[in-house]
Structure formats: C-alpha cells, structure tokens
C-alpha cells in the first residue's frame, strides 16, 4: 500500500490523501482488496477514472481501491445475434468505444470521448448525444459486499433511469454495495450507427434525426462537438479539468415547466407528463455565462470557474480546492433558484463534502 493524493486520480485534480491505497489489476485483486477493507471495518471508496468525483481536500480516511482490471472477451459474434462482449471494469471506456467502431460493432459510437472506466458506466447510466449505456448493456457482474458473494444483474434488474441505476442508489459517499467486476454489452453487427436521436448531432452529420449514419462518422462528429465544449480530456486545456457536467438536467412537473420562458429548452421525460429542462440554459439565463468565476474577486478567487466553453462544467483553473469548486456550484445553484425557482442537483459524487 502507498500514500496517494487523490487529486492525482481525479480529472478535476482535486482531493486530499487516501488513508490506504490499493490498485487492483484483476477481478481477484478487486474482490480481495474489498473484502480486506470490509473485514477490517474500514471505509471504502471505489475509484475508476476519477472523472465523476469531487473529493474533499482532507482526502478519504479509509481504503481507496483503484479499479485497474483491463481487457475484454468476445463471448459470441454472429450476424443474427450480434456480438456479446464482456469487459473488465477497469478497461478505459473510450478505448472500448473506439474498438467497437473499428470492428463494426454498432451502438456505442455516440458515447465516444466520455472519460473513465467501463465499470462506472452502468453506475450512473452514462449517456450523451441521445444514447446511454442502458441501451446496450446485457448484464453486470458485481461483488455484493453485503452478502460477500458475486451477484449478476440483468439489464432490467439494474433499474436504469436518467443518470440512475440500482448501483448508484445503493452507493453511499462513493462506497457502493455492489462493486462492478465486468460489464456485458450486446451490440448489433454493422457499420451503421444506432439511430441518431440528438438534433445537434444529426445536423452535424447531415442526416434526419432518428436516421442512421456510418458509426465512424458519428464518432468523429461526437468527438469534434465534445472537444468544442471542453468535454474531451486534454491535459493542455484547463476547461477539461472538471467532472464533466456538474449538474443534471432537472426533471420537473409540466406546470412548473410551463412557467418558464417560451424559448427555454423542454423535452418530454417519461409517461407522467414530466419535462426535462436544460441545466446549461438555466445557468446561462440566470446570469452565469461561460467563464463565470474567473475574476480574482469571485467567490473562488478565480481558482475555479465555469468552463469557458460550456456553462455546465465547473473547472479547476490550476490550484482550486474542493471548496473553491463548491463555492462556484453554490453560487450558480442559488442564482438558478432565485431566477427560475428550480433547484439543480449535482451529477458527480461528492466525497466528504456537501453542496
Ligand atoms: C470532461 C468530462 C466529460 C464527461 N462527459 C460525460 C457525458 O457525456 N456523459 C456522462 O454520463 N458522464 C460524463 N462525464 C462523467 C464521467 O466521465 C462518467 O460518469 C464516467 O462513467 C465516470 O467513470 P469513472 O471511471 O471516471 O468513475 P469515477 O469517477 O472513478 O467513479 C464515479 C462513481 O462510480 C463508482 N464506481 C467507479 N467504478 C466502480 C466499480 N467498478 N464498481 C462500483 N462503483 C464504481 C465510484 O465509486 C463513484 O461513485 C464526464 C466527465 C468529464 C470529466
């Protein structure tokens, strides 16, 4: 075990020291590390790519297990059933997406460029550009810490929702009941993408929304669009030192949505007449433009700010603490409540800190 600064493991580059630190490179090592920490009664934090975590400057006073298992195995591949691929939890997500596009496995292309490890993708049902992993995950194999046994969930048992799953619901302060070991995807074979559901992406591809395009074109355009918003990691670009979107898009009853200005983006969200709003739009219209917080006089002293490319990401400009990032988040959240009466909720897991 080695002393590790968690700011070195998170994309926001924020977080104090880990009490204990274990890097687990195989499934057996993951189970071993988790069982040892549990047997010793230590607090446990599971970390993949660290791209959806905001960790206290005081660090984490228990055991931090970094999931570093890599590789995938093809279970079956044929033109009828498509490909069934079982991916180790620590395998880099975008490397899997790139491989899928190169090998004509369809369905992951719109999720190009999302940082982190594959094992975290079912946790918050990772999604972007009209796709999410609930559309392609067949099963997730986990270590159940309560029962001390392996537990496999089928897609429907995972209770996927918008940035939600049973895995997230049973996670407390980054300490999950179920530690993901492998994720199985079921993907159709073919060079064409899944239907392109997101209007901005469809426009960029020159196809009608709902139609298919070549998967490699979808990947290229998604990476270009994401890059223009600072949503692809780039060590040279401070706008990408973030947790991605800091707030989820609020889902509100229709009458609350009706009270918003005519031009506010509104999308149907499920069968109960609920409406999904754009958090980025609400933030911008509440007076927090791109780069808000960069001034030295701001609540964070200019150390943290909204991205200069997107109002939904809170970024570390070089020496931000977790509290600097949260100071921006609090100001934005309060401003949106004041202007629109709508409360924003954080997307990343907050470890040892509160918003
Ligand atoms: C620039 C940028 C862009 C982003 N864009 C998107 C986007 O478009 N869409 C989107 O949905 N997200 C996006 N994110 C958020 C993030 O990348 C995803 O949520 C990603 O899946 C997190 O993976 P990770 O391995 O980094 O997880 P971590 O940040 O390491 O962990 C996140 C949570 O998952 C848990 N976890 C991790 N691995 C396991 C495991 N094996 N078993 C059980 N629990 C586990 C952790 O305990 C923690 O609670 C973005 C982030 C950044 C920085």
pLDDT tens-digit profile of 109-143? 999 999 999 999 999 999 999 999 999 999 999 99
CB atoms within 10 A of CB 278: 17
Q: Where are the domains of the chain?
A: 6-67, 72-225, 238-351
Asked whether the beta carbons of 17 and 75 are under 8 A apart, the reply is no
Q: Which residue has the tokens 């980025």?
A: 280
What pLDDT is recorded for position 110? 98
The arithmetic mean of pLDDT across residues 314-325, rounded, is 97
One of 3.40.33.10, 3.30.43.10, 3.10.105.10, 3.30.70.260 is the CATH number of 6-67, namely: 3.30.43.10
- Per the annotation, the verdict on 307 as an active-site residue is no
H or E segment and range at residue 19: strand 17-24
Atom number in ligand 1 closest to CA 163: 11
β-bridge pairing 137-144 and 178-187: antiparallel
The pLDDT value recorded for residue 67 is 98
Residue-level pLDDT at 280? 97
CATH architecture under which domain 238-351 falls: Alpha-Beta Complex (3.90)
Residue identified by tokens 């046994």 is 149
Pocket test for ligand 1, best of 8, 31, 34, 48 (most atoms within 8 A of CB): 48
Query: How much is the pLDDT for 80?
Result: 83
- For the chain, where are the alpha helices, taking DSSP H only? 27-39, 93-102, 166-169, 199-205, 215-228, 254-258, 279-285, 322-340
State the catalytic residue, choosing from 193, 245, 305, 321: 245
Check if 72-225 and 238-351 are the same fold.
Answer: no
Instruction: Supply the pTM of this predicted model.
Output: 0.95
Pocket probe for ligand 1: among 11, 54, 91, 115, the residue whose CB has the most ligand atoms within 8 Å is 115
Percent of the chain scoring above 70 in pLDDT = 99
First to last CA, the chain: 31
Tokens of 266: 């509104």
Quick one: which atom of ligand 1 is closest to the CA of 111? 8
Please check the confidence at residue 271 and state whether its pLDDT lies above 80: no
Kindly report the protein residue whose alpha carbon is nearest to atom 45 of ligand 1: 120
CB 242 within 8 Å of CB 12: yes
Q: Which of the residues 163, 219, 238, 333 is marked catalytic?
A: 163
pLDDT (tens digit per residue) in 156-185: 999 999 999 999 999 987 799 999 999 999
Q: Give me the residue label for tokens 């998967």.
A: 215
Q: Are 63 and 19 in contact (CB under 8 A)?
A: yes
Atom 14 (ligand 1) nearest CA: 244
48 lines ligand 1 (CB under 6 A): yes
User: 90 CB under 6 A from ligand 1?
Assistant: no
* Fold of the domain built from segment(s) 72-225: 3.30.465
From the CA of 107, how far away is ligand 1's center (Å)? 19
245 is catalytic: yes
DSSP conformation letters of 36-87: HHHHTT--EEEESSSSSEEE-TT-EEEEEEEE----EEEEEEETTTEEEEEE
The mean per-residue pLDDT over the stretch 74-83 comes to 89
- Indicate if ligand 1 lies below 6 Å from the C-beta of 181: no
- 337 token code pair: 């409540």
Q: Is 210 left (phi over 0), alpha (psi -120 to 50) or beta?
A: left
pLDDT tens digits, 20-66: 999 999 999 999 999 999 999 999 999 999 999 999 999 999 999 99
- Model confidence at 155: pLDDT above 70: yes
- Residues 6 or more apart whose Cβ sits within 8 Å of residue 198: 110, 129, 130, 209
Question: What is residue 94's predicted lDDT score, i.e. its pLDDT?
Answer: 98
Q: Among 48-52, 231-235, 255-259, 266-270, which stretch is predicted with the lowest mean pLDDT?
A: 266-270
146 is annotated as an active-site residue: no
């Amino acid at each position: 075990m080695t002393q590790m600064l968690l700011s070195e493991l998170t994309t926001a580059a924020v977080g104090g020291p880990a009490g204990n630190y274990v890097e687990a490179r195989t499934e057996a090592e993951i189970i071993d590390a988790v069982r040892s920490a549990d047997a010793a009664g230590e607090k446990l934090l599971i970390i993949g790519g660290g791209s959806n975590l905001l960790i206290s400057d005081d660090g984490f006073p228990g055991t931090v297990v970094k999931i570093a298992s890599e590789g995938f195995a093809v279970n079956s591949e044929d033109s009828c059933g498509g490909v069934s691929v079982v991916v180790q939890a620590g395998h880099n997500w975008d490397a899997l997406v790139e491989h899928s596009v190169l090998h004509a496995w369809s369905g992951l292309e719109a999720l190009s460029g999302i940082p982190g490890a594959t094992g975290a993708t079912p946790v918050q049902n990772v999604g972007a550009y009209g796709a999410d992993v609930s559309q392609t995950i067949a099963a997730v194999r986990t270590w159940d810490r309560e029962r001390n046994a392996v537990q496999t969930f089928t897609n429907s048992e995972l209770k996927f929702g918008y940035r939600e799953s049973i895995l997230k619901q049973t996670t407390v302060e980054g300490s999950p009941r179920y530690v993901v070991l492998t994720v199985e995807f079921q993907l159709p074979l073919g060079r064409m993408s899944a239907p392109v559901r997101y209007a901005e992406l469809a426009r960029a591809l020159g196809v009608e929304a709902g139609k298919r395009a070549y998967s490699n074109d979808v990947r290229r355009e998604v990476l270009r669009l994401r890059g223009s918003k600072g949503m692809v990691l780039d060590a040279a670009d401070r706008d990408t030192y973030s947790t991605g979107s800091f707030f989820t898009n609020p889902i509100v009853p229709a009458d609350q949505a009706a009270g918003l200005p005519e031009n506010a983006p509104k999308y149907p969200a499920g069968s109960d007449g609920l409406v999904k709003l754009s958090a980025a739009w609400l933030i911008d219209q509440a007076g927090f433009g791109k780069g808000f917080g960069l001034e030295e006089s701001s609540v964070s002293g200019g150390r943290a700010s909204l991205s200069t490319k997107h109002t939904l990401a809170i970024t570390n400009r070089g020496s931000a603490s977790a509290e600097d990032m949260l100071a921006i988040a609090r100001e934005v959240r309060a401003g949106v409540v004041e202007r629109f009466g709508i409360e924003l909720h954080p997307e990343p897991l907050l470890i040892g800190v509160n918003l």
